[in-house]
Amino acid sequence: MFKKIYNGLQLTADELINKMTWPTWDELQSSAIVTLVASALIALLIFGIDSILEQVFKFLYSVTA
């Protein structure tokens, strides 16, 4: 049983070290910036939709009250 676990860990380490291509520092920074900008845009979009819906529901509640 321990031999299977050890063998699995060896294969995992070998794949991480020898078979994967890791991004360069510039690629990593570029990806982080893209992720940050996309997250900010999505947050602004959700904020805008939430604000619009808030106003719509306030209007609807004021009409029915």
Per-residue pLDDT reduced to its tens digit, 4-61: 999 999 999 999 988 888 899 999 999 999 999 999 999 999 999 999 999 999 999 9
Parent domain of 56:
24-65
Whether 55 and 62 have beta carbons less than 8 Å apart is answered as no
Residue 15 identity (one-letter amino acid): E
Task: Kindly state whether residue 54 falls inside one of the protein's structural domains.
Answer: yes
Phi, psi of 22 (to 5 degrees): -90, 145
What is the number of domains present in the chain?
Answer: 1
| pLDDT given for residue 65 in this prediction | 67
Neighbours of 9 (CB within 10 A): 10
**pTM of the entire structure?**
0.65
